[in-house]
Structure 1
């Protein structure tokens, strides 16, 4: 039987091992999807403004996560090193907090405490959200806060805190709760989890009222904080927007249970597949699903047969695993949502932590008394910890736990291989270098028009955060982004800066004059060969100008923009919003006259695809 010092050293070794593995995982990763949305917003807004911090992002209210993302973007724009370090540091804080919680709940359990810790540290349920920066900024602070507050709640409920420190403990936990909420609104679940954990650690359901009284300041403070935060959340976000389906929610929740939570109990899945731009999807083998159910059944039997209150502990953990999936799956339950969304597993880190709490509670629960040969014999002793010496169960649990950890590492390696199949990192690196090179041309260098990043990087429904001017807004040095240029260059799908052209959505008819007799001396309407719907378009217009100057150009229902022209033959490319069936043109410089040739309205693209 290991002593307390050895247990602490093993726990420290497990945490360090986890951080090394997680460090390797993020070192081989890069930005992905919502990461770039955070970068785009941090690059186009002051990072301390409410417009940035209070933005409702995809149903989330997360000002603290926005703040960290903004600081990282400000210090090292599009440099993955800083986000990777953030994730490892946040994981270290969470892992230490979990070990503190396990030792608080089960102070005399040794092998059982290490098994509970190892389950949290290496569970596949915690991997996908960790590797994804935007998701990690949400869930890692929640995990750390949940572990910390559960530990404090158990200490207060048991009376382990003297009167001189009670105020410090509940105020500290309230501050931690507020911080967690500022990262992720799902941290509201911390309150019921902490309450149930404190009740079960204090003797079970019959100890509910004593637990409420023993930690009343904490419960009042957390409840008031949660109520206020709910009000703020619904004022700043619209979580009910979009299509929703009860049937689809039920299918997603069930798939999450059977193909994500259950196989993770044996370290699965081992197979991860990815179809860019989606994140990796886990596909467990049937034996993993069956094995997971068998593990759950075995733990349930042991809890009921050997631990007083074990059925309630297991029941609460299972209830959380299912109930916690309902809000997020409801939010994703449109008829178009693929059922495989539930197998991405990025919504499960808090479930892994609740299972860890349940394991610690089972280790701490008093054992049942068995009658053997006319005398009472303890199968184990939760109060003294000596029962672990009298049973082969700890050794068996250690072997099974080690096998599950090995299986989980196989899953992590497979996930990492799939996660690396991501074009974003190469695109950002190439594009940043191309922008640096373009800026080196000097003060008369290029002016770039805005454009969307490739579809495999970000898709149009996140507009305008898929625009290069926002994603690369804090990169320096780089050319200026403007609304008009006489030399059109674009970033290709690999991130290289190449000559651009304009696709032919509509044709602008040539003017009736000539270069000798220019027809545009005042406000003029240029006809299109058909109507346009309102959208950010790019106009390519050839002209002859009598002198250098400036023109104003607008689509029928859009705002006018200014563009420079040069004497003689030339072309101008203008990024403009609006629609309609004509283009309005007006010289602004006195004495400027123009003849306009044929032009195009469409999307900026590589010249080889745009036809010039």
Structure 2
């Protein structure tokens, strides 16, 4: 007969869990409130604004991520307030609250209300292992729904194994659907949850009959998500082009070492405490290698101990952890590491699935799964009189303090005026106060990466500002956005300048006959801009031809002006021909090269 439940102890456990959860949500709310959009976030807002809420938009991959749920949320945020961070921050907080609530629900449902639930809950609430998903909106749209889906899926699987009620099978199907809707990494939840079902939730028997026993006892919660997963993979293959060179190579062992000693190991100690800013505000762990190596060694020893002496439950926990780490290694080594190198393993945006699996593994190695309220728990005052209770409480407090130090040091660059934030906000106010056309030039790399061209052009990056943005590849008296985002008059630098024209008072006279101007081709960039300074007696039209290519139309304005154009490549001469009969203009200077703000 089960021991009676001490309601006071249960209330204390719930109170501590509530305080831990509120603490985790509090720092996430503080972090999100002071943040702003960065890199992939702009890609999401651009797609949502351009396409609207359509099936095509939902199935548009974002940087090789097929993430219909994230695209839907991006549309909601962009519709609510373009470049309004409050809406994105609110979505961050709501998603993170969902992770914490679903994590607590899984722990208390699977293991009962026990004091040993507190350590894995503290790990979930404060560990900085996947901290990118708390501030970087695009990373959160992938990672946070998948974390929630993992906890709900585990809970549904356990409840199905206990009751065989179809509502749990349907919930498992919905949870897996949520996981894959968040992105391709979401499908990886099938690996740890599958091991849990096969080796802990399936009745024991001979090894050869294991597949049959799994299907006999769990076919609804296995077959239905499997069909959904296959459907997602087919859709992914049809909609998402390969983002990387399949022939590229990466050092798998180096990625593994970096992953364990650089990111996972230090975070298990509450680290890394210091961060290296690699692309402001993005930071990677900066803990000493020796610290990460020691933590990794400790984790390896623990896993070995669970396998050798831990019993069936701890062996399954070890297998779940090893399989998850292997899946993460493969995803990084044959994914972003092909593009970014082995340092990709330091990006915390790739570890939200590892964190939630560690929460489950820690619970499995410390507690037997059981129905809620299975047995009595001691009061906190009684527990803290024991050496073990004091050690656990002290360890939880020390880990939390250590995590907070790491969290604050990571968050501060996001709250400062980092380049993308400063550039976009300055550009919005500058284009409003100084309206006029601007040259459609690539923004600085720290604002948007060049690999995203042409989505790093103002015409696309700043599209949420609407009509305030008039970015062109040709036009009269264009302005440029400087490195800070301010609109300023444009000039040409780092290129060639034509020799003065034959007419001392006019330069080159363009009237009834076309004129040809030579220019030194060697210093020109691959795709130079050309600036033609002219003065016309009226308004009309002309054309300019670079070498013998297709002509570009010029909208000639009365008076002195400068016409800019981004041609289709370097050239050796240009020809200007007047189209409007009787109109003349003087060209006093022609220069070609890179446009820049006039000093």
* TM-score interval, normalised by the smaller of the two chains: 0.7 to 0.9
- CA deviations on 1:429-471 (whole Å, 9 max, x unpaired) are 22211112124xxxxxx22221221232123222111111212
Q: 1:154 to 1:510 in 2, by over 3 A?
A: farther
Q: Distance in 1 between matches of 2:548 and 2:251?
A: 41
The CA distance in 2 between the partners of 1:386 and 1:306, in whole Å, is 25
Q: CA deviation at 1:299?
A: 7.1
**In structure 2, do the counterparts of structure 1 residues 495 and 466 end up closer, same or farther at CA, with 3 Å as the change threshold?**
same
Q: Secondary structure at the match of 2:446?
A: coil
What CA deviation, in whole Å up to 9, does each residue of 1:557-602 have, x standing for no partner?
Answer: 8765543212344321234444444445454445444443331222
Deviations 1:412-441 (A, max 9, x none): 1121234446222222222211112124xx
C-alpha displacement of 1:216 = 1.2
Q: How does 1:458-469 map to 2 (within 5 A)?
A: 458-469=448-459
Matches within 5 A, 1:81-160: 81-107=86-112, 109-158=113-162, 160=163
Structure 2 residue aligned with 1:430, among 426, 431, 437? 426
Q: Which runs of 5+ in 2 are unaligned?
A: 1-5
| Pairing of 1:308-327 with structure 2 (within 5 A) | 308-327=312-331
Q: Contact 1:111/1:398 (CA < 8 Å) preserved in 2?
A: no
Residues 1:452 and 2:442 aligned together: yes
Q: CA 1:595 to 1:408, structure 2 compared with 1: closer, same or farther past 3 Å?
A: same
Shift of 1:204: 7.5
Distance 1:383 1:103, change over 3 A: closer
Measured at CA, do residues 149 and 583 of structure 1 come closer, stay the same or move farther in structure 2, by a change above 3 Å?
Answer: farther
Q: Provide the C-alpha distance between the structure 2 equivalents of 1:120 and 1:254, rounded to a whole number of angstroms.
A: 24
Q: Report the 3-state secondary structure (helix = DSSP H, G, I; strand = E; otherwise coil) of the residue aligned with 1:275.
A: strand
Mapped pair 1:414 → 2:409? yes
Of the three residues 389, 392, 395, the one matched with 1:397 is: 392
Aligned twin of 1:596: 587
Please tell me whether residue 22 in structure 1 is matched to residue 28 in structure 2.
Answer: yes
Contact kept in structure 2, 1:447 and 1:480, CA below 8 Å: yes
Q: 1:215 to 1:87 in 2, by over 3 A?
A: same
Q: Deviations over 1:339-377 (max 9, x none)?
A: 43322322111101011112233344379xxxxxxxxxx
State the Cα distance separating 1:198 from its structure 2 match. 2.6
- For residues 524 and 177 of structure 2, the distance between their equivalents in structure 1, rounded to whole angstroms, comes to 45
- The alignment status of 1:359 with 2:362, answered yes or no, reads yes
- How far, CA to CA, are the matches of 1:485 and 1:197 in structure 2? 64
Residues 1:485 and 2:475 aligned together: yes
2:443 and 2:232 mapped to 1: Cα distance?
Answer: 36
Q: Matches of 1:246 and 1:572 in 2, distance apart?
A: 47
Once residues 153 and 523 of structure 1 are traced to their aligned partners in structure 2, the CA distance between those partners, rounded to angstroms, is 79
Q: Is structure 2 residue 197 aligned with structure 1 residue 198?
A: yes
> What is the match of residue 271 of structure 2?
268
Q: Answer whether contact 2:189 2:353 (CA < 8 A) is retained.
A: no
Mapped to 1, the partners of 2:549 and 2:102 lie a distance apart of: 55
Show the 5 A alignment for 1:515-554: 515=506, 518-521=509-512, 526-530=517-521, 537-553=528-544
CA deviations over 1:55-100 (Å, ceiling 9, x no partner): 3333322233233223323332222222111111111112111111
Give distance in 2, aligned partners of 1:382 and 1:357: 16
Alpha-carbon distance, 1:124 to partner: 1.4
Please say if 1:342 is aligned against 2:345: yes
Q: From the superposition, tell whether residues 516 and 464 of structure 1 become closer, same or farther in structure 2 (CA, over 3 Å).
A: closer
CA contact (8 A) 2:48 2:75 kept: yes
RMSD over aligned Cα atoms: 3.3
How far the C-alpha of 1:489 sits from its partner, in A, is 2.0
Distance across 1 between alignment mates of 2:575 and 2:40: 38
Greater shift, 587-596 or 317-326, is seen at 587-596
Residue number in structure 2 paired with 1:374: none
Q: Shift of residue 272 of structure 1?
A: 0.6
Q: Is 1:472 aligned with 2:465?
A: no
294, 297, 302: which one aligns with 1:290: 294
| Secondary structure, counterpart of 2:521 in structure 1 | strand
2:245 to 234, 239, 242: 242
Q: State the match for 2:3 in structure 1.
A: none
Of residues 54, 68, 72 in structure 2, which corresponds to 1:67?
72
1:373 is matched with: none
Question: TM-score with structure 1 length normalisation?
Answer: 0.85
Specify which of 548, 566, 570 is matched with residue 561 of structure 2. Answer: 570
